[in-house]
Amino acid sequence: MNGILGATGLVVIGYLLGALPIGLLVALLSGGADPRQAGSGRTGATNVLRTVGPAAAATVALLDLGKGVAAVLVARWLYQAGPAGSPEWVAAAAGLAAVIGHVRSVFIGFSGGRGMATFTGAMLAASPLAVAILLPVFLVVVWRWRFVSLGSVLVAVVAPVVAGVLSLAGQTSPAPFALAAGGAAVVTIAHRDNIARLRAGTERRLGR
């Protein structure tokens, strides 16, 4: 695939991959409740954990992460022609589209999850070093304060900084920075109700 039409097609594919309602499908196949009708109403792994259980949540987390990885890798593999470096930019755009698709899925009335797992998968494919730096931060925050939302928002906000530093250091192209910046915005906006509850002291901790 090449040119503007090819790039557009790959971005659309990225969106459709991200829009696959994995959380809903896993919950229903597991015999659990529709996550849209319980808890936060989201279809991500955290709400599936609360409404179905840990095994289903782990499956959802891995598959949602895989959507982001697949969107970036498919675009990188299939976009073969264009200006120098353009496959990386098309791949970054497809990864961002996957995050948007996860949050606003066309398959379930433009609802979805909060995008963190899919964002992580896209960044993993675009800049593994950035994820290696950010993942311990997320784990420490969640372990210490038991707020998945706090860890997600903090990592989302810091991700463009890490990706930008890596780009300036010559470790990656600027494309992962653009993906990180766009993905951070989408994920942070999707967590706006969590942020309000964190500020009010009413956010639920992991395990409650």
pLDDT tens-digit map of 55-77: 999 999 999 999 999 999 999 99
Confidence of residue 39 (pLDDT cuts 50, 70, 90): confident
Task: Average the pLDDT over each of 26-35, 134-143, 190-199 and give the range with the smallest value.
Answer: 26-35
Position 207 scores a pLDDT of: 74
| Torsion angle of the four alpha carbons 134, 138, 144, 145, in this order, in degrees rounded to the nearest 10 | 140
pLDDT tens-digit map of 84-143: 568 999 999 999 999 999 999 999 999 999 999 999 999 999 999 999 999 999 999 999
What does the alpha-carbon distance between residue 88 and residue 75 come to, in Å, rounded to a whole number? Answer: 8
Position 81 scores a pLDDT of: 66
Residue 74's contacts (CB-CB under 8 Å, 6 or more residues apart) are 10, 13, 14, 17, 94
Q: Position of tokens 């706006």? A: 192
Position 82 scores a pLDDT of: 64
Of residues 186 and 208, which shows the higher confidence score? 186
What does the alpha-carbon distance between residue 69 and residue 160 come to, in Å, rounded to a whole number? Answer: 18
**Mean pLDDT, range 21-44, rounded to an integer:** 94
Position 136 scores a pLDDT of: 97
